[in-house]
Structure 1
Amino acid sequence: MSENDNNSRVDKFDKRRKNTKSLTIFTVFGSILLVVFIALLVFGGGDNQDMADESETNQAANDSSESNNNNDGSTSDGQKENSAGNDSNSGDENSDESSSDKDEQQTNNDEVKKQEVESSDDNVVKAYTGNWQPVGTEQTGPHTTNYNEGSQDRVEMRKAISVATDLNQDSLTMWWIERNGDQKVVVTASDANETKTYRVYMTWVNDEGWKPTKVEELKENDQKYRFE
């Protein structure tokens, strides 16, 4: 065997060894890359999943917050509606109070002991006295009767007339007020349709208001002529 054949054989062996070594290096390097890639998928994917979960959690929290804000608005609107409802109910309460006052007034009238008395006035159908109580007042201190329309005395006189008769306080007409002595008056009043007319005598009780003392039911309104 020649020296050239030996050299050629050695060269082939070296090339084969180098190729095998390179293949091994590439295989190892590829395996490392594969492991790294798998690790990235596993751990990186977990992080991404955590981030996704966190994002979903934050989104849920935001949605919850917005929902709560919307609920607050609804509650506010509800309160406004309730407030508006309370305003409407206020009128009902006032109406109930008015009805209650009338019921109380009727009860007090039923409890009043009336006694018919004689009258020398031909215009009087019947007259009676009663144990009425003062109707109450917002006035305090020394009292001077104010006969002007809309005065507190006029307001409280209307109540006294209603207590002593069957006239409605809100709709009765006070035709004439006449002084009848110190802190005493006589008021001629009728219902709105003038189907019933009364002459009501009353006296002032300090800090307690006007107190009816006698009522005369009239045949006709003898004070209307003043306004004709």
Structure 2
Amino acid sequence: MNRKNDSSSRELRSELRGKRRKTNLILNTLIGLVILLIIFVSVKIFSGGNDEKLADQEQQTESSQDEEKVAAEESNASPIDEHQDEKEIESDENSLDESEKNAGSTDDKKEEITIVPANEDDAVVTEGGSNNNVKKTIENPSWAPIGTSQTGEHYAVYDKESTDWAEMLQAMSYATGVDQNNMNVWFLGNNGFNKSVGTITTKDQKQVYRVYIDWIDGQGWKPTKVEELNEVEKKPTKEAENEDS
């Protein structure tokens, strides 16, 4: 009887131990799973936070670098652009100045020279002159250069289309009082360096003159002497003769 009881007791204890082992195993397994879950969540949280921090830091660094790059480009570009703008403005102003100068130059050539009349009371008139064909010789200290639109070094030009020719005719008209519209030019030629002599008449040939003119630098042609002739001489006298250009 006692043996049966002992045997039952051992079996009961064995079953209880088996149940405790299973329970402990389950509990340990659950605890392990919980610990693993905690570890996983913790790692996820910390690693995620670090990633966000790194991303923020990288974004801030990139923004800073972009701003510095833009500032550097603007700093380098601004002086060049301003300098180029100044050059363009200066170039435009220079172009405008040149256009105005050229326009002024053209207008000067087109404009008639204004001649101030000489004082006839100052004229010195003598009978005769360089040859028998001269009726009288007239010299007037109040004669002045007629002005000129020419610039630079001057050499007399006897081309009828030239500015020099036109200004010489004005000087002879000024000295004699013969209007150019009523003037025939019989001779106009060289009388020495920057000196000229010309023979002119009115169109009806009732007035005949030989006119001597000198070039004054920057001021134009100035009459120096007028001879009133009896008749036309197509060539100058030996006193005034020189090569006709």
TM-score (structure 1 length as normaliser): 0.54
The structure that has the greater radius of gyration is 2
The alignment covers a number of residue pairs equal to 188
Deviation at 1:3, TM superposition (A): 1.0
1:110 alignment partner in structure 2 = 119
Contact 2:199–2:210 (CA<8 Å) still a contact in 1? no
1:34 to 45, 48, 73: 48
Deviation at 1:30, TM superposition (A): 1.0
Contact 2:175–2:223 (CA<8 Å) still a contact in 1? no
2:19 alignment partner in structure 1 = 5
Contact 1:204–1:210 (CA<8 Å) still a contact in 2? yes
Deviations for 1:126-159, whole angstroms, at most 9, x for unmatched residues?
97834246969x78xxxxxxxxx659xx969756
1:48, 1:186 → 2: CA distance? Answer: 89
1:129 alignment partner in structure 2 = 138
1:113, 1:29 → 2: CA distance? Answer: 122
Letter in 2 for 1:200: Y
Deviation at 1:92, TM superposition (A): 2.8
1:134, 1:89 → 2: CA distance? Answer: 25
2:106, 2:178 → 1: CA distance? Answer: 24
Asked if 1:88 is matched to 2:103, the reply is yes
TM-score (structure 2 length as normaliser): 0.51
Deviation at 1:20, TM superposition (A): 1.8
Q: From the superposition, tell whether residues 196 and 30 of structure 1 become closer, same or farther in structure 2 (CA, over 3 Å).
A: farther
Letter in 2 for 1:92: D
- 5+ residue gaps, structure 1, are 120-125, 140-148, 178-184
Deviations for 1:166-218, whole angstroms, at most 9, x for unmatched residues?
246799532257xxxxxxx9954146xx378642345699x9986214447x9
Asked if 1:45 is matched to 2:56, the reply is no
Return 66-75 or 84-93, whichever deviates more.
Answer: 66-75
1:199 alignment partner in structure 2 = 208
Asked if 1:212 is matched to 2:221, the reply is no
Percent identical among aligned pairs is 13
Contact 2:187–2:198 (CA<8 Å) still a contact in 1? yes
